[in-house]
Amino acid sequence: MVRICMLTLFLLTTQFHWSYTHGSSDTVRKAYIVYMGEAPQSKSSAINLHHNLLSSVVSDDPIAKQSYIYSYTKSFNAFAANLLPQEVQRLQENENVVSVFPSKIRKLHTTRSWDFLGMPQSVKRNHQIESNIIVGVLDTGIYINAPSFDDKGFGPPPSKWKGTCQVGGHFTSCNNKVIGARFYSHDAPIPNSNPSPLDDDGHGSHTSSTIAGASIAGASLYGLAKGTARGGVPSARIAMYKVCWAGGCNDINILAGLDDAISDGVDLISISIGGISDSYFEDPISIGAFHALKKGILTTCSAGNDGPSLYTVVNTAPWILTVGASGMDRQFRSLVKVGNGIQTDGFSINTFSPKRRLYPLTSAAKSANASLTRGHSPWLCDEESLDAKKVKGKIVLCKEGLIQDYVKPLGVSGVIVSLDQQQDSGFTFIIPATFVDTNFGDKIDTYVNSTKNPQAIIYKSRAVRNAASPFVASFSSRGPNTLSSTIIKPDIMAPGIDILAAYSKLASVTGDLEDNRFDVYNIISGTSMACPHVTASAAYIKTFHPRWSPAAIKSALMTTASELKIKDVQAELAYGAGQIDPIRAVDPGLIYDLSKVDYIRFLCNEGYSGTALRLFTEGNTNCSSIPNIGGHDALNYPSMYLQLNNPKSSISAIFHRTVKNVGSKKAIYKATVKAPANLKVTVVPKELAFSHLNEKKSFTVVIQGPPLKNITSVSASLEWSDAKHRVRSPILIFLAN
């Protein structure tokens, strides 16, 4: 089982629950979320309103009661119910309803990394303030017995904490590190008859410990990546909201987790989950994150694992900090040696040490099952493609695929998988296995076909240094943002390849039932692993600047990010502002701040209006009442993006920006533009003089250029500098398909 998280979960469009005979035909009811905006003043009156609203569209009262699933009343106003299409339409027409959308199943986007980011154990910390930070994590639960969650030396939870610890099953208590744990079991698998916040997957424990795990010396996965495992803010507290089960992460559960987390008093929210949405008003993560923002809570989310394809990034609302995955200066390689002396370093996380000097070697083509269907290639090494008698005890060469569930029962000693596309992350297998490139795979195939008794060996993985780092992970989802053509997403990058962190002993290393390896640590790749690095960095900044807004913290991380040594072909659509630099972000010099009004202006600019906008943003909001700052994006964002839809269109855009001085009391910042010769970027004024802290200054950026010819994008940047601080904003012009 491949352990790139988002795991191997299926993205289902809707969940079917039960059917009724209604009228003259059988109709399947589906789960929907009815979102109604700001939290009600009275919980009981809101629940009554939900029931009355549901009864008004469902003609049969008993069916209406059975249709009801859940009410959200703490941090926003919504309810979930099983509805028919005509009932959905009637609810959408109601003046008190912002949106009605189907509950989807979203996917999980699944030591050394903090040193790589320049945060050694000796880094300066405000321990007392850090201990008062509470991070809410929406995930698969938590394995509290992992050493990373030991609460030795911790005092009681902060007084602001209003949450709870739901015990049940084998989850008996929280502690002073994991101060809260809840679970939401709508549509949880039937076999899980005694649900609890306990992590039986490992993903939630991994992300949580990356954020705030205690420092544990000697941590490793069967000797791999040995060192001190620790979170970015090891003194912080964790509150787990288990919203994911074996079948995925249900929207109904996600929204419930966000409703509670905001109300419980968390300082930041981390979500390594995502899925496709058609609107900011029809996405539970976007909805919850906006309400969190209004309470001063920053929500950080993973960008998705569907790269390197364009238009795959998710969690793209501007009030969310969206994180792509990068590679570190450490990779894991598994040496492959062949009997004729040739050898190469394969990509895998192989914990198995060979028990003999060489093993018999064969290829899938030479070991094909005689009954294999015509046209079905044996090279994929999938179901029924191999003859057990021909592969037992041997290492098998496969091409472009491996279904290890089918291969292991055949008794093979190992698998070498030849791939056309170069890998940049390791995979964990239930048998000795590794990926090699096609050139080497072809050499092995030639050797197998020309030798009477071919042999090979796959060694246990070892860590090697990679000087070409950081780089964008191939699987990390890319922009453009499908919901808005005016902002770059993802916002930023962080390590997400081969990350060692806490795990659950209730799940095997691969997650496969045939795997008998269980450990409290695991090495996993995914934007799921990148996201908690940024959450922890945001928490670290918050310990030095407790009163900074979510937008200020986001700006600090983006404008101090490091440019990539290895540029990606998709440029900022792959890495946003660049690689996070948590230490520099504590003192960014200038910040691009945003308030709720700024986001409302953005929504107006994007075409949102009417009752839905008013209910979403609270109060008597309408677009005509919001001051117009002009410019292309109508948003004081730390990056600038222009999307062209016609190859004949000239480049022309104006961006209005305002920065706040949070560096030196008196400072003069000068603008430096980096742009190709055919792109003219003008900054007015070119110099900003500040006389005191928190002073604001505005400027305008004008971008002009000819149509893009034979290229699809142009990158530039604007940097403000006062000799001490460098405040960099990426600029991207992209020609859409």
Show which residues are catalytic.
139, 203, 528
What is the amino acid identity at position 103?
A: S
Q: What are phi and psi of 670, to 5 degrees?
A: -115, 145
φ/ψ (deg, to 5) at 33: -110, 130
CA dihedral 170→175→180→182, nearest 10 degrees, is 0
Cβ–Cβ < 8 Å for 358, 456? yes
CA distance 120 to 539: 16
CA distances from 39 to 42, 97, 295, 396, 586 (A): 9, 13, 12, 59, 33
Closest by alpha carbon to 110, among 205, 190, 45, 189? 205
- Cβ contact 274:315 at 8 Å: yes
Distance CA 294, CA 317 (A): 14
Q: What does the block give as tokens for 579? A: 């690689």
Annotate 575-625 with three-state secondary structure. Answer: HCCCECCHHHHCCCCEECCCCHHHHHHHHHHCCCCHHHHHHHHCCCCCHHH
What distance, in Å, lies between the first and last C-alpha atoms of the chain?
Answer: 35
* 326 phi and psi angles, rounded to 5 deg: -125, 165
**Six-digit token pair at 494?**
């962080």
The DSSP result for 141-194, as a single string, is: -B-TTSGGG--TT--SPPTT----B--BTTB----SSEEEEEE--TT--TT--S
Are 662 and 693 spatial neighbours (Cβ–Cβ below 8 Å)? yes
In whole angstroms, give the CA distance from residue 244 to residue 273: 9
The CA distance from 237 to 132, in Å, is: 7
* Helix, coil or strand: residue 446: helix
Phi, psi for 637 (deg, rounded to 5): -90, 150
**Token pair for residue 43?**
């919980």
Tokens of 369: 């099952």
Q: Answer whether 252's CB lies under 8 Å from 221's CB.
A: no
Q: How far apart are CA 193 and CA 404, in angstroms?
A: 29
Rounded Cα–Cα distance for residues 42 and 39 (Å): 9
User: 541: Cβ–Cβ under 8 A, 6 or more apart, which residues?
Assistant: 548, 553, 556, 557, 582, 585, 586
Q: How many residues does the chain have?
A: 737
d(CA 100, CA 70): 14
